[in-house]
Amino acid sequence: MARMKFLCDAERCIECNGCVTACKQEHEVPWGVNRRRVVTLNDGLPGEKSISVACMHCSDAPCMAVCPVDCFYKTSEGVVLHDKDLCIGCGYCFYACPFGAPQFPQDGAFGLRGKMDKCTFCAGGPEADNSAAEFKKYGRNRLAEGKLPACAEMCSTKALLGGDSDVIADIYRNRVLKRGKGAEVWGWGTAYGKPEKGAAPPTGAKS
């Protein structure tokens, strides 16, 4: 299997925020944290475009490169995950990420910066699959249930595609050929333009 990727079709996204809601609901994401957001360019003007943005699970992920405690790892399916027990909440990954994916819960009166939280491609984390600890820290592990991310599966217009990159690229190619426009895939050059690179896989692990 090739690596897992997200693809957002700006021609189809209707800014319904269904993906955002699905993600919040699926993982019981706390207030102030949005693992997925819908960004609208040229809002209100003719030809405005909306794009659903979250962690793109980059080939050469900048968050992995800058993390001072090396809490990131990449699974064999190309999903970038992190260990919250190691995260010190420094925020370097937030500044490094071109998509603004890493989120920090702002608990308390003084806006304390907690452990980083981000999209997991619905693949949980290093805790035991579908355990209570995994759900509490990372949300539901749909991948271990043989399902795709909730945001992509819930998308009503199928603007947001998620899954095996070969398959979703084929779906998109077919779509562009049928409609004859909108071949630009937002964010793919930034996320997947560089060769695959990642931290050494954890032993006996996903990666």
Which positions lie near another protein, rule CB under 8 A? 1, 68-73, 75-77, 81-83, 85-86, 123, 125-130, 141, 143-148, 152-153, 158, 161-164, 167-168, 170-171, 174-175, 178, 199-207
Q: Least distance in Å: CB of 130 to another protein?
A: 7
With respect to another protein, which residue has the nearer C-beta, 106 or 148? 148
Handedness of CA 167, 131, 54, 38 (dihedral sign): positive
Q: Which residues 6+ apart lie within 8 Å of 156 measured at CB? A: 14, 16, 18
Which pair of structure tokens corresponds to residue 91?
């925020």
Q: How far are the Cα atoms of 64, 72, 118 from residue 125, in angstroms, in the given order?
A: 15, 10, 11
Q: Least distance in Å: CB of 41 to another protein?
A: 24
With respect to another protein, which residue has the nearer C-beta, 100 or 182? 182
With respect to another protein, which residue has the nearer C-beta, 44 or 204? 204
Q: Least distance in Å: CB of 31 to another protein?
A: 26
Q: Least distance in Å: CB of 44 to another protein?
A: 29
Q: Which residue has the tokens 């009503």?
A: 156
Which pair of structure tokens corresponds to residue 106?
């702002």
Return the number of other C-beta atoms located less than 10 Å from residue 103's C-beta. Answer: 21
d(CA 116, CA 179): 40
Which pair of structure tokens corresponds to residue 129?
């699959």
d(CA 116, CA 94): 9
Q: Which residue has the tokens 């749909």?
A: 142
With respect to another protein, which residue has the nearer C-beta, 72 or 104? 72
With respect to another protein, which residue has the nearer C-beta, 72 or 99? 72
Q: Which residue has the tokens 């040229």?
A: 42
Q: Least distance in Å: CB of 125 to another protein?
A: 7
Using a 10 angstrom Cβ sphere, with 0-12 exposed, 13-18 middle and 19 or more buried, the burial of residue 89 is middle
Q: Least distance in Å: CB of 109 to another protein?
A: 30
With respect to another protein, which residue has the nearer C-beta, 21 or 207? 207
